[in-house]
A and B are shown apart, each in its own frame.
Chain A
Amino acid sequence: MLSYAFKRVLSMLPVAFIAVTACFFIMRLAPGGPFDRERALPPEIKANLLAAYNMDQSLPVQYMLYVWRLLHGDLGPSMVVKTYSVSQLLGLGLPFTLTLGFSAFIIATTVGILAGILAAVYQNKWPDYVLVLFVMVGVVVPNFLTAHLLQLVFGVYLDWLPAGGYLPGSIPHLVMPVTVLSLAHLARVSRLMRGSMIEVLGSNYVRTARAKGLGTRLVLARHALKPALLPVVSYLGPGLSYLLTGSLVVEQVFGLPGIGKYFIQAALNRDYGLVLGTVVLYMFIILILNLIVDLVYAWLDPKVRYS
């Protein structure tokens, strides 16, 4: 298991390396690069950039310095904002985005797993039909649409919840954003769990467990649950990236103080210092989370754990 973990970490490195290198080259070589745009850059920005990218050095040295800076958490300067670096800007919004993202992730995953199990056990009876319908809606309707619809219905027409904005520590302000964000993930997780559980319940070893007279609860909890969870756990890695992408929109629609707002603004302003910096950060977060998910999977599956 330890060697497996070690190998996984090792395999992350080339990926991170490629990503960082790609970002570096995009920064330097893209058409309309930082130094030949139609609009002249304000002198402060130009000065920042020159300093940050050591334009006077050779390319390989620039690269080294870039990587060195990254390892120290310096994501470079913004193209548009004069006085703050990317890291500082992100630092303002990251804690919120991470909180939002993780809450949605945990809620959606837990509820999704339970719902999937329920639907599988009561296959083709009403809990199953309700879930399948819900999944269909949750998966098909884009999150920007659900965000606006919920905001309209609950925030404006019914006025049950605040339509946007955020006050520190206020739960009502978070209800809608977290719900919208969770929806798609919940739908996918529960659909996966349902399918996986149905398959496991039809397996030969579950048949043996039933033949032993163990009773439905034991068969489910001890024999079916863990094998059925495995595909769901595998999905959590990609699921998380979906969630992070979704948070962009949710923060925008509900006016929340996370990274999303900065990111979208940056994209619209063609501030690719900020855009790239954010993406590099996101990628690292996702790589690490994927590693964790991989390890959890390996721990659950005895064939991997004890090999």
Chain B
Amino acid sequence: MAAVLDVKDLTVSFALHDHDLVAVDHLSFSVSPGETLAVVGESGSGKSQAFLSIMGLLARNGRASGHAILDGVDLIGLPPSQLDAYRGRDIAMIFQDPMTSLNPYLRIGQQMSEVLVQHKQMSKKKARADAIRMLDAVKLADASGIFERYPHECSGGMRQRIMIAMALLCRPKVLIADEPTTALDVTVQAQMLELFSSLTDEFGTALVIITHDLGVVAGLADRMMVVYAGRAVETGTVEQLFYDPHHPYTLGLLNSTPHVETRARRLNTISGSPPNLEHLPRGCPFNPRCAYRCDRCFAERPALTPFGEGRAKACFYGAPLVQAEEVA
């Protein structure tokens, strides 16, 4: 099936006062229609910046190069005026902090209708009806009441649902959700994931969910991509990576997720500290923290190489990291 979003060699750099900082380094991946891709990595791994660049939302000193092809159009390098035709309509993004992502000075209804008026040239009346229907679809009680309200009259969970509703109004082909549950209560999180699941089924939207929480990945995603220091280090289906990881970082992430059934005296962590993007080690950026490294890892940087069934890894270590019996 042809990918709905095809990203190749996406590179994002920021011009600091005396040098450039590379936040995303030749990232390549694709998303198929209707599938849910999880993008996993630590804070600062560049995962958000990659998608902000696709949406044309980089900071003033940011530059993006490479390709992000949505329906045959390369979004990278498009001037904002042209990009506007696609964002909000074919590709939409919701952000981590629902408390500040809605305009406090405008009514919710207005913020929703304007998307429909802008992209579908709907009349205000029809837009209102559509918006209220969507607010319903995200399981908000009193949809028409909310339409008239201001954001400060709604809770965080409600606001995030409103954001989701707003993003789906034009039935975009791709929805990017940047840590959508991080700022919410755990109970609300569970509901939110359910919501995502049912919505993507109902509207056939491809969902990219950026997160550092493997629980979210397990509950929602079909495929996942692990990002480290701005590069993709492993991709594959969720089952493949959870049960048979091939990159030491992926293994580390899995091991450091506390399991509710094991009584651990100490939590597992990945040794070492997150990489300093301004001073990356030679060779593989993970080598300071890797238990499986060899001499080659210090000399050469491994490229993302496909193997197995639709998987890829950027690692020189040949063998699987987890033996069949160790699967917990």
- A residues contacting B by CB (< 8 A) are 123-124, 203-216, 218, 222-223, 226-227, 300-303, 306
Contacts and interface: CB of A to CB of B under 8 A. Distances in A.
A211 B80 contact: no
B85 A205 contact: no
Given A207-B101, A214-B115, 17 more contacts: A123-B60, A205-B103, A208-B95, A210-B57, A211-B57, A211-B92, A211-B93, A212-B87, A212-B115, A213-B83, A213-B87, A213-B119, A214-B84, A214-B118, A215-B84, A302-B152, A303-B104
Chain B's interface size range is: 20 to 34
Among A203, A210, A211, A303: residue with most chain B CB under 10 A: A211
Interface string B113-153: 01100110000000000000000000000000000001010
A211 B152 CA distance: 21
Among A205, A206, A226: residue with most chain B CB under 10 A: A205
A209 B104 contact: no
A222 B114 contact: yes
Contact of A306 (B81, B84, B150, B163): B150
Among A207, A208, A216: residue with most chain B CB under 10 A: A208
Given A222-B106, A227-B105, A303-B152, A213 B88 contact: yes
Contact of A213 (B84, B102, B103, B163): B84
Contact of A218 (B55, B105, B114): B114
A215 B118 contact: yes
A223 B111 CA distance: 9
A211 B87 contact: yes
A140 B9 CA distance: 51
Given A215-B81, A223-B103, A301-B105, A204 B95 contact: yes
16 contacts: A123-B60, A124-B60, A205-B100, A209-B103, A211-B87, A211-B92, A212-B118, A213-B84, A213-B88, A214-B88, A214-B114, A214-B115, A215-B118, A223-B103, A226-B105, A301-B105
A212 B105 contact: no
A111 to B, nearest CB: 24
A209 B56 CA distance: 12
Contact of A207 (B57, B85, B92): B57
Contacts of B206: none
Contacts, number: 80
Contacts of A212: 87-88, 92, 114-115, 118, 166
Nearest to B86: A213
**A-B residue pairs, 5 tightest by C-beta:** A213-B88, A212-B88, A213-B87, A204-B100, A205-B103
Contacts of B93: 211
Given A205-B100, A218-B114, A213 B106 contact: no
A124 to B, nearest CB: 8
A208 B101 CA distance: 6
Contacts of B60: 123-124
B313 interface: no
A302 B150 contact: yes
B222 interface: no
Given A204-B97, A208-B95, A213 B105 contact: no
A27 B111 CA distance: 58
A211 B101 CA distance: 11
A245 B80 CA distance: 46
A214 B115 CA distance: 7
Interface in B69-87: 80-81, 83-87
Contacts of A215: 81, 84, 118
Nearest to B92: A211
Contacts of A205: 100-104
B78 to A, nearest CB: 12
Interface in B46-67: 55-57, 60
A212 B92 CA distance: 7
A222 B101 CA distance: 15
Nearest to A123: B60
Interface in B8-49: none
A211 B88 contact: yes
Contacts of A203: 100
Nearest to A203: B100
A203 B95 CA distance: 12
B173 interface: no
B144 to A, nearest CB: 18
